[in-house]
């Protein structure tokens, strides 16, 4: 196996045009193989975490509790303070964070945010990551962007994994998230000791496939949420005890993770976000864009996106996705009493 100093020396001797020669391609493949073989553990691996919102803060906390040295960054630095209090280091930029890390995780809001924190040439994480490092983007984002990040990482002798998650704030807190991973399978396997602290990793294929899997997940959830709130509205208008109704259907064919997570919250009028309406509108918009590219007609997805978009139009974008009940209440001129 070639040593890292020798690889750097060889790379520096070649012009930009020679950099794409078969020799250097083989060298880069060799580096990726070596990186994939390194063991990930608290004693040998330094982690970086970008994004300490509703999901990210809980996910990162599991890594700190497991004994990893973690450096964190968030645009609003005060939101990272609870993790700093747990022992994390605070960086002033994604680049600074990456310079102190072997693996950099990110979970931010929108594709534009992902591009900025990872690929910005001056301040982005990739610009500070050493050869052999790994970027792991856990944001729900565009599959094409995941491929762009992978290509950019490879050009810098690094690796990239797209690994969006599902399970909401409860899954993040309990370490039971479903993780959809796209990229080099050997790298995904290498990262499993860290992924397992947050949930169960599912390998979906090469770069971008993790994002495609998460978008398919969102399409499934969207129609499930519409069915859930429509059933609640119907049960209420029929004069049923809605709490008893939800309990009754929870063990039947209508039972679902969405019902388990959000049924009681809806009845309590608890619309605190486990997942923001704004972010779900973004996800469903990406789904519709991908459907257009594929020539797919998914009317359930389109309907759900319009209903969630109506929440955003009413200034309710920062509520949780369970606030969909509000859209159906307005359509039917009813308001469920809080339980």
3-state class (DSSP) for residue 325: helix
Alpha carbon separation from 221 to 13, 259, 287 (Å, rounded): 52, 11, 12
Catalytic (active site) residue 214: yes
C-alpha closest to that of 187 among 161, 149, 164, 153: 161
Q: State the catalytic residue, choosing from 214, 257, 282, 312.
A: 214
Decide: 215 and 140 in contact? Cβ < 8 Å: yes
Q: CA-to-CA distance for 313 and 323, rounded, in angstroms?
A: 13
Round to whole Å and give the CA distance between 302 and 163.
25
The DSSP bridge partners found for residue 105 are 49, 136
Assess contact for 140 and 222: CB atoms under 8 A.
no
* 105 closest CA partner among 150, 144, 182, 52: 52
Active site positions, annotated: 214
């Amino acid at each position: 196996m070639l040593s890292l100093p020798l690889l750097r020396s060889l790379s520096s001797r070649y012009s930009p045009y020679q950099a794409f020669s078969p020799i250097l391609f083989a060298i880069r493949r060799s580096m990726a193989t070596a990186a994939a073989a390194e063991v990930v553990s608290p004693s040998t691996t330094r982690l970086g975490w970008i994004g300490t919102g509703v999901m990210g803060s809980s996910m990162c906390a599991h890594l700190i509790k497991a004994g990893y040295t973690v450096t964190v960054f968030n645009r609003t630095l005060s939101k990272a303070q609870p993790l700093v209090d747990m022992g994390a280091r605070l960086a002033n930029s994604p680049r600074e964070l990456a310079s102190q890390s072997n693996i950099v995780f990110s979970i931010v809001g929108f594709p534009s945010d992902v591009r900025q924190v990872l690929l910005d040439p001056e301040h982005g994480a990739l610009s500070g990551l050493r050869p052999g490092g790994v970027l792991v983007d856990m944001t729900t984002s565009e599959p094409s962007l995941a491929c762009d990040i992978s290509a950019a990482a490879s050009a810098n002798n690094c690796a990239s994994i797209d690994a969006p998650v599902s399970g909401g704030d409860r899954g993040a807190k309990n370490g039971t998230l479903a993780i959809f991973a796209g990229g080099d399978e050997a790298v995904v396997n290498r990262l499993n000791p860290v992924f397992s602290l947050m949930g169960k990793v599912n390998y979906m294929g090469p770069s971008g496939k993790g994002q495609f899997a998460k978008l398919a997940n969102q399409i499934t959830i969207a129609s499930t949420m519409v069915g859930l709130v429509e059933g609640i509205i119907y049960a209420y208008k029929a004069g049923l005890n809605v709490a008893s109704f939800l309990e009754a259907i929870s063990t039947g064919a209508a039972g679902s993770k969405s019902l388990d997570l959000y049924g009681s919250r809806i009845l309590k009028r608890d619309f605190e976000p486990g997942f923001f309406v704004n972010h779900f509108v973004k996800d469903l918009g990406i789904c519709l864009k991908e459907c257009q590219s594929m020539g797919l007609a998914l009317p359930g997805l389109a309907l759900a996106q319009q209903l969630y978009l109506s929440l955003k139009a009413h200034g309710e974008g920062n509520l949780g996705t369970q606030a969909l009940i509000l859209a159906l209440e307005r359509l039917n001129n009813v308001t469920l009493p809080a339980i």
